[in-house]
Chain A
């Protein structure tokens, strides 16, 4: 990270330095990786299934382990995860119907704090405008509302929404990963794929309405350069919001918007490079993992005990005498891949690539 005395064209936030035009001090501590480092960083960024380091082969699939069938276990585990997700999704449907939502103005104020947090760590490399939720520059939008509009315009969206919810569990939930490991399963391999595909279809069909509800209630997503968040506000019978819940919500938005703001200052050359890589060959790691790696740095570099910050983030739910427990920061698992890459080429190289477009610093030849 830089000490931050150079700001790229403050009059035009969002305009990155041209590649090679950044002040030399922003590249202090960087080095062009050698061949061994390039190999190592590419391996670190990759999320492909790794060969057994001893046998050099992929694991052997075992349909039954301790008498239990792989498919039966996967199906039960997916259904269990869906059940657990419904526990937070159903109340949101009730609250949404009641019509109480968090105020866009309060969310925008959090966005200003998120930008400040990211800029404090990375503003020397690149800056953007704070993300807006209102007016013509709005990039933060209502996830629930947009998903309902999309389904209304194309009811087949709901089918893909339901299938996606199951796919997401199958692809990455820890309960599934554990079963895959025990059975030596690789879901992309023909035998396992046939089993998993059938389970996906079965559950997405049988539980479509529940899965669509979970989809509408999912905390946040991004699409088309917009960020979609949930505004649903839980209130009591008198329509009063619990201030502690309100504070938790605001801190979650603070975290989300740091991540999304960092996306907006990614250098186009970095976008171009990661787009040439397959998703599992490092493309997704460079897109989301690196963004979350920087999110962690910015977030942990922010003094969250600071009274002014707490007041600004918590907004109308702030109570000076109450120190709110701040929710844990959740990141993409690929942030670990980005951290491994940083361990090889160094943080200055990661910054130089992501913010300044010097992708040779992360292995591009």
Chain B
């Protein structure tokens, strides 16, 4: 363990070790993500039901197949998400984490259809997992600072439906 809790959390994130995950420390900046290849394209967006302004960038690491999305607010990393993160032994992870604080209806990956109670939120741990229907796989991994479910929903959750091009 280093003396930098942000780097420690990022290292744990890269190790895919979430059974003891305690959240992304508040006020971590991009400097804590030195082990990742950071993109330079920063795009304004909003997060949460409160549509709180934020920005996002991409990042790449060999630990995850898909690009990561880093969500920033006032230079602090407020959320990191990974699609199809290929976490090992998901049933064991869910057992270790215990019951979530909330189960939310999340959008399917490619269609504007909600999958009931598929987003399990451990707000006090700063963790949310969008699960496959049989709970054997993680479709999306989301980490953030420990908070409440209300704050997660209001300011951190990304909840925009997929949309298709007309033809």
Contacts and interface: CB of A to CB of B under 8 A. Distances in A.
Count class of interface residues, chain B: 35 or more
B164 A129 contact: no
B131 to A, nearest CB: 8
A245 interface: no
Contacts of A164: 111-113
B166 A332 contact: yes
B69 interface: yes
In this complex, the member of B56, B112, B165 whose beta carbon has the largest number of chain A beta carbons within 10 angstroms is: B165
A313 B40 CA distance: 25
A218 B113 CA distance: 16
Interface string B54-76: 01101110000001010000000
Interface in B145-167: 158, 160, 162-167
Contact of A149 (B84, B134, B158, B162): B84
B45 interface: yes
B69 A15 contact: no
A268 B48 CA distance: 12
A358 to B, nearest CB: 16
Contacts of A256: 165
B163 A288 contact: yes
Given A157-B109, A160-B113, A268-B46, A221 B51 contact: no
B60 A268 contact: no
B103 interface: no
Contact of B115 (A137, A160, A223, A288): A160
Contacts of A146: 109-110
A136 B44 contact: no
B41 A132 contact: yes
Nearest to A218: B164
Interface in B1-60: 37-46, 51, 53, 55-56, 58-60
B137 A153 contact: yes
Given A160-B115, A223-B109, A225-B43, A138 B58 contact: yes
A168 interface: yes
A256 B164 CA distance: 11
Given A136-B37, A137-B58, A220-B165, A150 B109 contact: yes
A230 B23 CA distance: 37
A146 B111 CA distance: 12
Contacts of A136: 37-39, 58-60, 67
A357 B69 CA distance: 24
A228 B162 CA distance: 10
Contact of A128 (B38, B43, B69): B43
Contacts of A155: 133
In this complex, the member of B41, B46, B55 whose beta carbon has the largest number of chain A beta carbons within 10 angstroms is: B41
A150 B139 contact: yes
Interface string A263-296: 0100110011001100000000001100000000
Contact of B111 (A160, A272, A330): A160
Given A136-B37, A156-B133, A150 B44 contact: no
Interface of A: 12, 14-16, 128-129, 132, 135-139, 143, 146-147, 149-150, 153-157, 160-161, 163-164, 168, 215, 218-225, 228, 256, 259, 264, 267-268, 271-272, 275-276, 287-288, 330-333
Q: Report the 8 A-B pairs with minimum CB-CB distance, sorted nearest first.
A: A154-B132, A156-B133, A272-B51, A223-B162, A220-B165, A164-B111, A137-B39, A150-B109
10 contacts: A137-B40, A137-B41, A155-B133, A157-B109, A223-B162, A224-B83, A225-B69, A259-B165, A330-B167, A333-B166
Given A153-B84, A288-B163, 14 more contacts: A132-B41, A136-B60, A138-B58, A149-B84, A150-B108, A150-B109, A154-B134, A155-B133, A161-B111, A222-B163, A223-B163, A268-B44, A272-B46, A330-B167
